[in-house]
Amino acid sequence: MSIKRLSISTLAPLTALALLLFPELTYAQEPVSANSNHTALLASNDPQLAANKKLVYDFWREVFEGGHLDLAPNYLTENYIQHNPNVATGRKAFVEFFAKFKKPKPIAAQIEGPLVSIIAERDLVILTFVKEHTDPKDPTIKYTTSWFDQFRIENGKIAEHWDPATRQ
């Protein structure tokens, strides 16, 4: 008995047939999970990276989630650069935009959103979150993906922000 190697040209039609017969396979996904140990996420062997992570983390808790926009000067440079197409550049523009729907509330001890990771490299910090969506083909099905916010730190304050937002 000999074992024959399967080539890509042999596997491709079989894969296509499997997807036609079992379309649910195309939606197989491992759910994105949050990490509840924020202390571990904030840790770094490099004191500067740890400080950058903490700066972004506290900004998110106090200003973004907590709605304490009066604290924005503690975290954002005056000329803060915004790459989200829905929010203008500048600390003042940030505050004016979010003041429309963020009201101050008690500041939580940790970020309330489902945080997956905090990554710091050089002057950049990335927060990654779980984002839940409804399946467009079946509104009874929910699925998760990830969302990120990336920040650039300059002289101890957030100077720039990126996220995957599109115009609304």
Question: For residue 168, what pLDDT band results from cuts at 50, 70 and 90?
Answer: confident
Half-sphere exposure of residue 25: CA atoms within 13 angstroms, side-chain side: 9
- Residue 58 structure tokens: 């506290």
Domains and their CATH numbers in the chain = 30-162 (3.10.450.50)
Burial 49-59 (b: 16+ CB within 10 A, else e): beebbebbbbb
* pTM of the full structure: 0.81
Query: Tell me: the pLDDT tens digits for 106-161?
Result: 999 999 999 999 999 999 999 999 999 998 999 999 999 899 999 999 999 999 99
Three-state secondary structure call for residue 137? coil
